Structure 1
């Protein structure tokens, strides 16, 4: 019998959410970061890197809730000043400066206060397509002079949320979550559409991969220059390319996915084509997914696998981790499939996108696929996903699975009875409702971020529901008497 946690049982135990409360109330977080940045050795090292690389400009960057990246450009000779003073942004920058249908700026309006982003020196990288430019990620804080909250981590910084969630997870369980993502994207340009017979997939064909050779060579070259250990790639469907890099800690994997997206957009500009991470560009072809491949590590031992259990592959720890993910798969859909278009993947029959809460042995129709290599392949996230939010929710769900020893039931494909665990939301509107109703998922995010995400997604859903499209004319213009 599958035992999913109830809100009552969650409240009775120490959780990641309780650990995060303390981290978000830490007024000294800014001071510690500032002290590390202004250490004389750090300043000297950064000035040396700038001088030796010939960098003249630096992008100080933060990922937004919508998985974009915002930045300010500063001449590189100000590196010491920026390490100390940081960069100030309008608070609504992290909600993509999105205006609601009613005309107000979501996230506090024009009156919203600024926040300060302190650079992270170890994220300094030179852009390979223009070596005069470098980039650095920043961590966002409430300005130190603000009463009460001054110096605390900013609640809507999704990148810092993932880092703090992983720290809390490791403190509670002594384990590290590692991840590898499989981002697919569609390229559009002359000669990029793969050739195949009717009703035959163009996937894997060398001829079609050759069509993409200038693109994949340039993407891989730039990616390797920016620290991604590229391992393989293939042609998936019409104009669709998937390139993968080596798995690592979830924080590094999320940063690399953001970096990879930037690289792909740059290559598209240089090649004179367009490239999109839109989850479902066309009917009848594969959508752009972004499967998350997860493993749990105690030091250098992967505790997810069970070598003595070749039939099911996963350990008891692995089963509980899967149980936690399945228990909150429905509630986390608003994050994993975050756009209106995301749900078109689940309506197109036969395109390998899961629709039910399930797990299986090497099953590409299950929500979670278990292979013989010791990893969980979580197949819901699509190419538009914010990887910081998706991994933060997975950590919270896995943590609950481990604490409450949640049983995921029997896997599909094992010849054992399988329990029906329910269906995934099929629209963004339904996903918003389920997000609200799942207490663990909702409280895995700080309150300010949670409410802002709901506001952004409700506005997107309302815009879609109110839009008059060609479909409406095709269905109703002549047919209604």
Structure 2
């Protein structure tokens, strides 16, 4: 069993004493208990029926039917996020919502792996013989789409159908959203800590009507004139996001066509859902204005990449930010926070395949001077660090980019912090050089394969399908003949 901290530290950081009490009550190392329960949660054959029973309670049925009738919604998207950070859905007339609360929606198994085929033409995650899964709606996620008031959406959780032998009724292991919800709940149950996050999604907009004013040798960042060019865009974005319960807080123009709009931080479940929703909002607004909106991580060399920094904190049951040492007013990270950072840095290389998930993601790290970190280190208000302590009580993880699957990234960061806290992993001093991060998707794949932590904390099926998807992407890229190669080699000899 792990013994937590010294008396002096415990006096200043009372949440550490709570961890010691939890370890005694549970009778073991909190990180090991956490890991064991992550695995056992997937083997719960009663999960589907409990979800159905909750959906069919009188209060739930009355509430969702009243909401839909009052809203005027006539059609519902029953929606799930995929491993590739897209969304899939089926449309059903809203009048059938009670039926769907019980029966759910059936999807082909490969929907969660983006129906992606490998280079040999085989569907990744299962061929034509693959069994369907059931997407059971979560009524509390119902929202009306502000650009068409007759259409709404509702998130689903994926389960194995009850008729399947052995696995029937269990959570579908490839559902990244449900996986994140489970891992976070275990953080709450075992460590008595809630993870909150605020993301910073950068993206590039392109079109004749929104071309920026560019001056050679000058960055277009923060220029009011460039914000004015984007005014119709950001106004419509803010309008739609606010209608979908985002608390929009600020935005700026950062580089050629690049804007960043931020909303208030929240529990990671809400933050991840909002990030997925924000991408859909941007796609809709682009259609309305006849322009293009891209979350491509690195569209232009010499310009900023599209990052999606995750600003993290852990809060106790009394509403206190555990990254803050009471009475300390200088920029700092509490002891518990340093252990959490220690876990993130320890597993940084293995997590990169999720944080920077595409071939293009790694172009961010090859373009010097663009604030993209290349080492597993941390620092106090240091934009070159992987983890930047940007404010008291907040750790900004700077490697995720705007193509990230936020459910996978937050699940791994939750598990990494649980490992760091449970095993008291002390990070090196702020500003230390740190281990080199993968610099290509191929290197990230190998780091992902080799990391025992990744193997233990992601469900086997999810990990393998995700690895298959990314390995195929890397193989296709390695086999592609690019314009650079033509320029470099077409007339290189003699």
TM-score (norm 2): 0.93
Q: Secondary structure of the residue that 2:407 maps to in structure 1?
A: helix
Task: Please tell me whether the aligned partners of residues 382 and 388 of structure 2 are also in contact (alpha carbons under 8 angstroms).
Answer: yes
1:306 pairs with one of 318, 325, 343: 325
Residue 40 (structure 1) shift: 2.1
Corresponding residue of 1:199: 217
Corresponding residue of 1:395: 414
Task: Please tell me whether the aligned partners of residues 30 and 422 of structure 2 are also in contact (alpha carbons under 8 angstroms).
Answer: no
Task: Please tell me whether the aligned partners of residues 73 and 94 of structure 2 are also in contact (alpha carbons under 8 angstroms).
Answer: yes
Q: Secondary structure of the residue that 2:336 maps to in structure 1?
A: helix
Q: Quick check: 1:238 aligned with 2:256? A: yes
Q: Quick check: 1:435 aligned with 2:448? A: yes
Deviates more, 1:388-397 or 1:296-305: 296-305
- Unmatched tracts of structure 2, length 5 or more: 1-27
Q: Quick check: 1:359 aligned with 2:378? A: yes
Q: Quick check: 1:478 aligned with 2:455? A: no
Runs of 4+ in 1 over 3 A off after TM superposition: 10-13, 307-312
Corresponding residue of 1:278: 296
| Residues in 1 aligned to 2:68 and 2:389: alpha-carbon distance in whole angstroms | 45
| CA shift in 2, pair 1:465/1:328, >3 Å | same
Superposition pairs of residues 309-324 of structure 1, within 5 angstroms: 309-324=328-343
Corresponding residue of 2:482: 469
Give CA deviations for 1:109-142 in whole Å, capped at 9, x if unaligned: 1111000010000000000000000000000000
- Unmatched tracts of structure 1, length 5 or more: 1-9, 413-417
1:328 pairs with one of 347, 356, 359: 347
Residue 309 (structure 1) shift: 4.0
Deviates more, 1:333-342 or 1:165-174: 165-174
Corresponding residue of 1:29: 47
Corresponding residue of 1:80: 98
Residue 17 (structure 1) shift: 2.6
Task: Please tell me whether the aligned partners of residues 219 and 264 of structure 1 are also in contact (alpha carbons under 8 angstroms).
Answer: yes
Residue 13 (structure 1) shift: 5.6
| Residues in 2 aligned to 1:77 and 1:345: alpha-carbon distance in whole angstroms | 47
Task: Please tell me whether the aligned partners of residues 250 and 263 of structure 2 are also in contact (alpha carbons under 8 angstroms).
Answer: yes
Q: Quick check: 1:378 aligned with 2:391? A: no
| Residues in 2 aligned to 1:92 and 1:372: alpha-carbon distance in whole angstroms | 42
| Residues in 1 aligned to 2:418 and 2:345: alpha-carbon distance in whole angstroms | 12
Task: Please tell me whether the aligned partners of residues 82 and 175 of structure 2 are also in contact (alpha carbons under 8 angstroms).
Answer: yes
Task: Please tell me whether the aligned partners of residues 194 and 237 of structure 1 are also in contact (alpha carbons under 8 angstroms).
Answer: no
Task: Please tell me whether the aligned partners of residues 29 and 422 of structure 2 are also in contact (alpha carbons under 8 angstroms).
Answer: no
| CA shift in 2, pair 1:312/1:45, >3 Å | closer
Q: Secondary structure of the residue that 2:269 maps to in structure 1?
A: helix
| Residues in 2 aligned to 1:90 and 1:372: alpha-carbon distance in whole angstroms | 45
Corresponding residue of 1:337: 356
| Residues in 1 aligned to 2:110 and 2:202: alpha-carbon distance in whole angstroms | 29
Give CA deviations for 1:75-101 in whole Å, capped at 9, x if unaligned: 111111111110000000000000110
| Residues in 2 aligned to 1:191 and 1:203: alpha-carbon distance in whole angstroms | 19
RMSD: 1.4
Residue 29 (structure 1) shift: 0.4
Residue 197 (structure 1) shift: 2.3
Residue 39 (structure 1) shift: 1.3
Task: Please tell me whether the aligned partners of residues 16 and 444 of structure 1 are also in contact (alpha carbons under 8 angstroms).
Answer: no
Residue 307 (structure 1) shift: 4.5
Corresponding residue of 1:213: 231
| Residues in 2 aligned to 1:11 and 1:470: alpha-carbon distance in whole angstroms | 54
Give CA deviations for 1:205-241 in whole Å, capped at 9, x if unaligned: 1111111000000001000000111000000101001
| Residues in 1 aligned to 2:212 and 2:364: alpha-carbon distance in whole angstroms | 20
Q: Quick check: 1:404 aligned with 2:417? A: no
| Residues in 2 aligned to 1:461 and 1:372: alpha-carbon distance in whole angstroms | 37
Corresponding residue of 1:268: 286
Residue 194 (structure 1) shift: 2.5
Deviates more, 1:317-326 or 1:435-444: 435-444
| Residues in 1 aligned to 2:304 and 2:122: alpha-carbon distance in whole angstroms | 37
Residue 312 (structure 1) shift: 4.9
| Residues in 1 aligned to 2:141 and 2:89: alpha-carbon distance in whole angstroms | 14
Q: Secondary structure of the residue that 1:406 maps to in structure 2?
A: coil
| Residues in 1 aligned to 2:457 and 2:35: alpha-carbon distance in whole angstroms | 6
Corresponding residue of 1:225: 243
| Residues in 1 aligned to 2:52 and 2:329: alpha-carbon distance in whole angstroms | 50
Give CA deviations for 1:320-366 in whole Å, capped at 9, x if unaligned: 01100000111100000000000000001100100011101101111
Corresponding residue of 1:423: 436
Q: Secondary structure of the residue that 2:436 maps to in structure 1?
A: coil
| Residues in 2 aligned to 1:238 and 1:321: alpha-carbon distance in whole angstroms | 36
Residue 46 (structure 1) shift: 1.6
Corresponding residue of 1:150: 168
Q: Secondary structure of the residue that 1:65 maps to in structure 2?
A: coil
Residue 199 (structure 1) shift: 1.8
Task: Please tell me whether the aligned partners of residues 99 and 106 of structure 1 are also in contact (alpha carbons under 8 angstroms).
Answer: yes
TM-score (norm 1): 0.95
2:124 pairs with one of 106, 109, 120: 106
Corresponding residue of 1:163: 181
Name the one with the larger helix percent: 2
1:47 pairs with one of 36, 55, 65: 65
Q: Secondary structure of the residue that 2:208 maps to in structure 1?
A: coil
